[in-house]
Amino acid sequence: MSYQRSPLSNKERFWAKVNRRGPNECWPWTGAHDRRGYGHFSCRAEDNEPTRSSVAHRLAYEWSIGPIPSGLAIDHLCRNPPCCNPTHLEAVTIRENVRRAHAATNATHCPKGHEFTPENIYRKASHPGRICKTCSHEYAREHQREYRRQGRDTANRSRWSPEQWERRREQDRESQRRKRAARTPAQREAMRQYQRERYLRNQATAIEYARRKRAEKSRLGQ
């Protein structure tokens, strides 16, 4: 089976992934998105424009309203990251965008729509505002699954198991062997030459260092 390139244009592919509901409602992005809920879209090379990857709501703004003045951020008036409704988007300075985000702490729901009840809130000194418990638990579970899939220790997830280290060392040795075997005689000679030079350089440095040490010693001894 061969890969069939979609005959649709970038804009057609893009809008097909936006759930365009009522004109005043949010238009959620249904394609790939990041952890914060912002949609992502890859534009193919088209009409002398190179390939590029962009955040969905920025493309929605560009294609419905116009180019985004350089240095400006696109703010969601609805505070709903996946929303691509151009009437909910406004180009503002980064400073204004951050100010609004902080002012929005009276939101009643997290970006994924879980309600901010007292039981569903974490607070952390290192994190501004409230953290959705449901979301962070989901995220943790997702990670646990991923770690288990990789055969890693879920209790000490930052640590590798001895088998993992052994596997990694074996991979390293294997790639070293492959690299060594792939070298031509000229490359091998160049490598030897380089090592010889490095050895001599290091030796010269060591001799110089020892000489200075001796000079220092005799100067202090006087």
Nearer to Zn ion, 21 or 212 (CB): 21
Which residue is listed with tokens 């920025």?
58
What three-state secondary structure class fits 44?
A: coil
Among 26, 65, 92, 101, binds Zn ion (CB under 5 A): 26
State how far the Cα of 187 lies from the Cα of 180, in Å rounded to an integer.
10
131 near Zn ion (CB under 5 A)? no
Residue 78 is a binding residue for Zn ion (CB under 5 A): yes
- The verdict on 134 binding Zn ion (CB under 5 A) reads yes
**Binding range to Zn ion, per CB under 5 A, among 42-50, 132-140, 164-172, 201-209:** 132-140
Q: Are the beta carbons of 209 and 201 closer than 8 angstroms? A: no
- Residue 60 binds to Zn ion (criterion: CB under 5 A): no
Contact with Zn ion (CB under 5 A) among 10, 88, 91, 116: 88
* List 13, 17, 44, 114, residue binding Zn ion (CB under 5 A): 114
CA distance 216 to 208: 12
Which region among 72-80, 158-166, 189-197, 207-215 touches Zn ion (by CB under 5 A)?
A: 72-80
In degrees, to the nearest 5, what angle opens at C-alpha 141 toward C-alphas 139 and 147?
105
- CA separation (Å) from 200 to 20, 153, 189, 217? 70, 46, 17, 26
Rounded distance between C-alpha atoms, residue 175 and residue 74, angstroms? 46
Q: Is 55 in the site for Zn ion (CB under 5 A)?
A: no
Number of residues that bind Zn ion (CB under 5 A): 12
d(CA 62, CA 208): 63
Nearer to Zn ion, 10 or 85 (CB): 85
> Nearest distance from residue 88's CB to Zn ion, in Å?
3
Footprint of Zn ion (CB under 5 A): 26, 78, 80, 83, 85, 88, 110, 112, 114, 132, 134-135
